[in-house]
Each structure stands twice: as C-alpha cells, then as structure tokens.
Structure 1
C-alpha cells in the first residue's frame, strides 16, 4: 500500500473503529509499527488531531467529532455487506440482528450500485432465549453505566445457586454462547459468567457504582482460541484416512504445520490452548490418529479409552 493510501486508510480505521493500538493498525495496514508513527506525524501535519496513549496497550484515536470525506464503495465491498446480512440471519446468537438489518438497509439505500447476493449459509448457532437476552442487556447496562450487577449464579461444579455481586467489564460470545467477563467482589478476581437459564437467574442492576480498572485489557483474560486463557500444548501426531483429508482442509489449532507422508497419512504439528481442548481434539479423531507427543497426554488418552471400553463391554 502506498504511503498516501495508507494514511487515508489509517484515518478511516480510527474514525470507524475508535481507539486502536499501534500493533492493530500495523496489522491492518500490512506495515510495521515504526511506519504507524510516521503516518501519525503526516496526518497531524495535514491538520488532523490524533490523540495517543502510551503503555503496554498504547495506541491512537481521532479527536471526537472529526469528520472525513465519504469514500465510495467498490462492488465487492457492497456485496460483502449484503452477504453479511444473510450470514447473520443463520446465526441467531447475534443479538442486534434486527437493528443491524435496519442500519444496513439505510446505508445501502444511499448507493446506486446493485449486486446480487450469492451466499448460502447453514444455521449452526443455538437460540438465545428471551430470558438470556434480558440478562445480557442488564449486564450491558451495568458495563456501560459503571454500576454493579447482583445475580444468583451456579457454577458448573456447584450444587446450588449463590447470590453474588459483579462489576461487568465485557460481554463475550464464544462459539454461540454468551459470557460476562466481570470482576467478582466475592472472588476478588476476574471471572467468566455464562448466560444460561440453568446457571444464572434473578439478575438486577444495582445503584452501586464502580471504577473500571484503567489497566484492564481483555487480552489478559481470554485465550487465543477460546474463552479461557490456558497453557499452550504442542501436539505431534499422525492422522490417517478420511480424517487426514479433513484435517488438511480445516488446519486445527494455532500455527499448524502439515506434511503428507503418503496419500493416506498426514503428519501434523499444532498448538492447542488448554489440556481439555487438546484431549477433545484427539478423541474426536477416534482410531484415525496416532499421538507422538506429549507422552503424558498420550497416557491420559489411553486411560480414557480403557474406561470407555469398560463402559461399552
């Protein structure tokens, strides 16, 4: 991307997304962080006020109220907006779908380009019930207004509900399920609370204010591939037959490396976040994989298979 185009794109990103770290900008613009600093200087020389923050997660944002000229849409960009509506229609866990559609309709009504929608998407997300939506909305209100939320919650291994008070920080969607990442006054630590009628009830917004931790950053509390930030486990294994072909298309885990040994055998090296994720992945392959390492996980899978065999005998 040429320098002038990169500066304009940086303006568009800051205007549309708000605060962004220097690393995020560098990734979006396919450049390095040092160039981002230069782009900022050039934009400020052109009269734009770009506010910066320092520290581990330092970055930039445009001064509030800054207006930019409207750039026209390319045909493929317009098509992507239309496709997004069809995609979200098949994913019912996207709560603001109706509002999103109204916004897209208003925006598309301002353009003269006409393109045909072509995507077909299969529904794969579970329903979010009315009670769950209500609980999510209350936690969103607490997050935005900085008021604590009181609720009754039953953790996965608990036998009964307990009343707790939380300070909501983020609402997270992981594989179709919603969670509230919040500071628990009881645990005195950040915890994830799942929105579920089986786990959560009697949610109410209190008038008890809280001050959001200025050093909080969501990356410190969630994983790269799932909700929980967990240990990274390197897997080395052989995958056979039909599973080998499926894995070659899917490329599971973090930074996977695949090498075909022959037409029916794939050697896979990949990273999995968390022991449970690694174990579930291996078990899903059934008898079409051979784990090379780690050895302790290999022994654990062997014990599970032995217990399963006893149950089915």
Structure 2
C-alpha cells in the first residue's frame, strides 16, 4: 500500500484499540517500524496527533480530540461561535447548560486556547448585546487584523464629545463587557494602549503594515487597569425557581455566595460590575427576582418597572 493508504489504515487501527505497540503496527501494515514514525509525523502535519508511551506497557494511541470532525474549527470560528452562543443565551437561558457544554468541548479541542484567552476576555458574559455578535463586520475586520498582525485605520466617534477622528491602531485583544465588545489596541496617535467600543467605530480599513504584539501581553492582567470597572456593586437578590436553578449552575463573581431557601429559592450575594447588565439581568427574571441590596439598585429597578407600566397604559 502507498503512504496515504497506510496512514488511513493506521488511524483505523488506533481508533479500534486504546494502545498499539509500534512493532505490531508495522507488522499489520507490512512495513518496517521506522515507517510507522514517518506516518506519525505525516499525520501530525495534518493535525491528527499520535501519542507515544514508552515502556513495557507502552505504544501508540490516537488523540481522539484531534480527529477529523473537530479539525474544521479554527480559533476565529471558535471566538465567533462563543459570541453567538452568549448572545443567544441572553434571550434563551433555558438552553444554558447544553450550549455551554457543547462550547466547552469545542474549546477543549483547540490547541491554541491559552493564546486565545490572553487576547479575548469575557468580563461579565451573562448578557451580551446581539448587535456585536458575529454579525459585526467591524469586529470581523479587527479580528482578522489581530490574527494577521496587521495595522488598521479606524474612524471613531468619542462618547464624551461625539468628535469623529481617524486613528491607526494595533489590535491587541477583545473584551466583552456590559453588553458590548471592545477592541483593546495600541493607538499610534496617543502612543499608548486604548479601548475602542466596537459600536462607536464608523469604519475599519486594513493597512498593509505589520505590527509587533508583545509576547507578554495578557488581557486578563491588563483588564483591571483599562478603566472598565467602575464602582463594583455588592448585590443581594432573592431568586425563585426556575431562575434559581440556572443561577446555581453559573459563576457570576469569584466571591458569590448562594444560600438555599425554601421552595427551591436562593439568596444570591456577589460583587458585580456593569450596571446596565445587572439591571437587565434582574429585569429579565421578572417577578422571580427581588432586590434586597443595594438600596439604590432597588429604586432604579422600581423606576424602570414604573416606566414600563406607564408605556403600556398609553
């Protein structure tokens, strides 16, 4: 048989058995043991990984995570899939467990997740603006530029002054925070790191110039210094079923405390960021959530509900 046929046969053998010695593989394929190593190297070039264990009980085994169905996902597709799933779950929370599990399996199969997590950060991912999902052409272009280490020229509208300026930036990372996605980039005009809200970008033009992305850059470490977090709130809620079950299965804050109450209700305490996201999350649970603290949040939720009632009475 030729090299291709032997490689496919080798995959079939390793899929059928948990571990096979190199001499046994060679005998079944009718080749010398050194050719098995050649086939292993060829398969690894194609992204199919063969693990080797030495010793009396050693042999070759197939890394099933790398087999063909998973290989079709690249890091860009996984990032956009993650955004799409989070956007969908903000409207269909009943599917939270199934879709999150599916996404984790896909991410686990990616070999560059350590790199991705250094440059893509969900700061508070329990709600996300559907407008910024994988429908955003600006995000796609910025992520393409990041992936290929290319500079971009953006037309950007400042939130405070509404002034529109053109800037050349080096995309370093992306952050999802308080329902929106931001590009964290080095700005040539300011000669410093800046954050750009995607929905405030009017235009994105790829520039045929490369930029250097510092190897030690990690958005997880940079995030606290970027000005996103403003006045974190210690929130206390009473949440009834069915939302109580969903909340118990999720992590909203590293300091969250969940106390079981009668009738499957819970008392939820946590320090949260992103005021708009907090309010929309609570309002999304309707009558199944009651704000205990802080007092100002309770009043703001009450005002929102009163305004909603007025709108329905018109």
Question: Which structure would you say has the larger RCO, counting Cα contacts within 8 Å and 6 or more residues apart?
Answer: 2
Q: TM-score scaled to structure 2, two decimals?
A: 0.50
Pick the structure with greater CA Rg. 2
